[in-house]
Amino acid sequence: MSWNLDSDRPIFIQIVEHLQYDIVSGYYQPGQRLPSVRDLAAEAAVNPNTMQRALSELERSGYMHSERTSGRFITEDKGMIDELKRQLATAQIEVFLQTMKRLGLSNEEIQVLVKESMKE
């Protein structure tokens, strides 16, 4: 997946979010070994220290773990991955609903638009 990082927010937070989406979407499977810090940093065009910081945060959160000399691996806890997916989806829905409310749409109008969009 392409890395579309911007300067509006801290890069390491954007990397964490990107990798979270990669995990919940199945790009990285439970138990899968991740590329090295240097390889991921080169792919994202960031400093390896920044990538290391993001990976450490994901480890601290339990979404991946390190095995000495073997590298980093995605958690095998599918329940944890499903919960992360639900959290990310809920956050996106909240942003969407806030935007629709700012447009002056009622809940009913939003529902109609969503149903129409899903038919396509």
What per-residue confidence (pLDDT) applies to 1?
Answer: 59
Q: 5 by DSSP, 3-state: which?
A: coil
What per-residue confidence (pLDDT) applies to 41?
Answer: 95
Q: Where are the domains of the chain?
A: 11-76, 79-119
Q: 65 by DSSP, 3-state: which?
A: strand
Confirm if 81 and 72 have CB atoms less than 8 A apart.
no
What per-residue confidence (pLDDT) applies to 27?
Answer: 95
Q: Which amino acid type is present at position 105? A: L
What per-residue confidence (pLDDT) applies to 113?
Answer: 94
What per-residue confidence (pLDDT) applies to 3?
Answer: 84
Could you say which residues of the chain have pLDDT below 70? 1, 120
What per-residue confidence (pLDDT) applies to 119?
Answer: 86
Cα–Cα nearest to 17, from 39, 44, 45, 49: 44
Q: Decide yes or no: CATH 1.10.10.10 for domain 11-76.
A: yes
Q: What global pTM score does this model have?
A: 0.84
